[in-house]
Each structure stands twice: as structure tokens, then as C-alpha cells.
């Protein structure tokens, strides 16, 4: 992927959500909500602070993160729908 986010932005790929309930009912695409978890594919250099210094991001490529359902800007690159968002739009890193 030839996409490098600027400053404190990250590129996130949404993770597929379960399409089957615990009881085994298969949900159609129209009935499922947008996933609120994703994997970070690329990170920017860091946030530029008021004094001109750069603070490195707290997330890295490969991290699994939580974010709001309508966070970020959707872009389509090489047929994949990706999200571009600021680090501050991320809620948490999912630890394995």
C-alpha cells in the first residue's frame, strides 16, 4: 500500500463482524452494524505540539483498536475500504 498518513493520523482497516448470532441465526448484511474494531495499517510521524516538537503516536502498525462507529474518513484504495482518522479518535488498543 502506497499510503502514508500525515502527522497524528492513522490508516485503519475495519475488521469483519460476526454475521451469526450466538444461537446460530445468520444475519444479512443489511441487518449488521458497522464494525467498531480495526487493524492499523499505517501511522503518521506524530502529533506536532505547540512548541514545535513531535510527539510519537501511542499506536503502531498491526495494533487492533476500538473506535466510534462513524469515526474517520472512509477512502477506497486498491478496492479496499479504509479509514483515515486521527489518533485522538481511537478509544483503546485491544490487547491479545
pLDDT at 84 over 80: yes
| Cell (9 digits) for 19 | 454475521
Q: What pTM was computed for the model?
A: 0.75
d(CA 41, CA 31): 27
Local confidence band at 33 (pLDDT 50, 70, 90 cut-offs)? low
Distance between alpha carbon 8 and the CA centroid of its chain, in Å?
13
Amino acid at each position: 500500500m502506497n499510503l502514508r498518513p500525515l502527522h497524528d493520523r492513522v490508516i485503519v482497516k475495519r475488521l469483519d463482524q460476526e454475521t451469526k448470532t450466538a444461537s446460530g441465526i445468520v444475519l444479512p448484511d443489511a441487518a449488521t452494524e458497522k464494525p467498531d474494531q480495526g487493524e492499523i495499517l499505517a501511522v503518521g510521524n506524530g502529533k506536532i505540539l505547540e512548541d514545535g516538537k513531535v510527539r510519537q503516536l501511542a499506536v503502531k502498525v498491526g495494533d487492533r483498536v476500538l473506535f466510534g462507529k462513524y469515526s474517520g474518513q472512509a477512502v477506497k484504495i486498491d478496492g479496499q475500504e479504509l479509514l483515515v482518522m486521527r489518533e485522538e479518535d481511537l478509544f483503546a488498543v485491544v490487547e491479545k
